[in-house]
Structure 1
Amino acid sequence: MGIQAVYLSVDDAALKRLGEAPAEELLDLAEALEKADCPQVGLDKLWDGLHFLLTGVSASSPIEGNPLSEAVVGVQVFDCDDFIACTRSEELPAIVAALDTVSIDEVLAAADFARFRKAKLYPKIWTDDPVQLKTELEAAFRELRDFYHVCATEQRHVLVSIY
C-alpha cells in the first residue's frame, strides 16, 4: 500500500485531545478520527509530488513559513514516530490565499517529471505516463485546495497524517 497522506478536518476538542496525548497514542487517535467519519481528503501517494510541484523541494524538506509547503505537510508537527502534524484554523487563511494564487494549469504545463525523478520523490512513479500524472496531480491539488476552503470557512483545524 505504501505511504499515504490523509487530511482530516477536526474541531477544537479533537485537537486538544491530540495535543494532550502521549506520543505513543497519537497514531491511534488519528486513525480513530479517520474512522469516525471526520471530513477528510486522501492524497494517496501524491503528497510528495504535489509538494515538489508547488515548492520545488521534496516534502521531506518542508519549508517553514511557506504556506504552499504547509498546505501539504502542516504547520506544527507532533513529536511522535509517525508523521502527524496540524494546522490551526487561524493559520488556514494564509494557506487558502496561497493555494488560490496557484494557476495549476500553468504549473502543470511547466512540470518536468525528470526533475521529480532526480529529486527521488516518493513513490517511484515519476516515469509513468506524464499525462496521467498531471491529471492525478491536478485532481489532488484541487481536492486539497477545496478541502482547505471548507475547513477555513467552518473554522476547523487540519490534521495531516503521512504514513
Structure 2
Amino acid sequence: MSMIQNFLRVNLETLNSFLADSHSLSKMVYSKEAIHLDNLIDIDKAWEGIFFLLTGESIGTYDQAALPLSWLLVGPNDIDRNQDMGYGPATYTDIEQTRQIDLALKEISTDELTQRFDSATMLEKDIYPAIWEDENALDYLLQYFEDLKAFYQMATLHHEAVILFLN
C-alpha cells in the first residue's frame, strides 16, 4: 500500500465547518469531484523524503524537527482526533502557522535540498519510500518540493489554513 500526503487549503469559514463536522471533510476530499479541486494537492509518496531533506527527521521523529517545518507532516491542531483519514486523523495549521511555513519554505532552495540528498543515509534511516538509489529519486523529490512551495505561497496569498492528512 502507498502512503500519500495530502494538503488542502481552506478559508476560515470552511475550516470551522470541518471542525464542527469532520465527516464533511472526508466527504469532500473522497468525493469524485475532489480531482477538480484546485485547493487540494498531494505530494505522492515524496512526503517523508522531502521532510527528511528539510529537517533531517523522519515520520518517527517529526516532533524533534524545528518549527514551523515540523508542521509539514503533522499539523499542531486536530480536526477530529477520532477520525481516520486513511493513516490517522487530519491535522491543520491555522492561517498564521501556514504563513510561517511559507516563509520557511521560501528560504530553502532546490540547490540546498540537492546538497542534502544522501541516498545511503535515507535508505539507512528507512525514509519512505525506499527508492533513494534510483537515478530519478532526487528529481522526484524536487518536483514535489516545488509544488509544495507554490501551494503554501498560494495559501498565504489567500489567507488560508492548511489541512494535512495521509491516505
- Residue 155 of structure 2 corresponds to residue 151 of structure 1: yes
Describe the shift of the 1:113–1:151 C-alpha distance in structure 2 as closer, same or farther (beyond 3 A): same
Deviations along 1:29-73, whole A, 9 cap, x unmatched?
Answer: 543484562512210000011111111111233237611221343
**Percent of aligned pairs with the same amino acid:** 26
* CA distance in structure 1 between the aligned counterparts of 2:34 and 2:59, rounded to whole angstroms: 22
Question: Aligned to 1:61, what secondary structure does the other structure show?
Answer: helix
The equivalent position to 1:96 in structure 2, one of 91, 95, 102, is 102
What is the identity, as a one-letter code, of the residue corresponding to 1:92? Answer: T
Is the 1:10–1:38 contact (alpha carbons within 8 Å) kept by the matching residues of 2?
A: no
Is the 1:59–1:69 contact (alpha carbons within 8 Å) kept by the matching residues of 2?
A: no
How many pairs are equivalent?
A: 160
Unaligned runs of at least 5 residues, structure 2: none
Question: Aligned to 1:41, what secondary structure does the other structure show?
Answer: strand
* CA distance in structure 2 between the aligned counterparts of 1:146 and 1:72, rounded to whole angstroms: 17
Q: TM-score, normalised by structure 1?
A: 0.84
Describe the shift of the 1:9–1:54 C-alpha distance in structure 2 as closer, same or farther (beyond 3 A): same
Deviates more, 1:150-159 or 1:33-42: 33-42
* CA distance in structure 2 between the aligned counterparts of 1:12 and 1:36, rounded to whole angstroms: 21
What is the identity, as a one-letter code, of the residue corresponding to 1:161? Answer: F
User: Which residue in the other structure is 1:116 paired with?
Assistant: 122
The correspondence of residues 3-152 of structure 1 with structure 2, limited to 5 A, is: 3-21=3-21, 27-32=26-31, 34-35=34-35, 37-63=37-63, 66-78=67-79, 79=81, 80-81=83-84, 82-129=88-135, 132-152=136-156
User: Which stretches of structure 1, 4 residues or more, deviate above 3 A after TM superposition?
Assistant: 24-30, 32-36
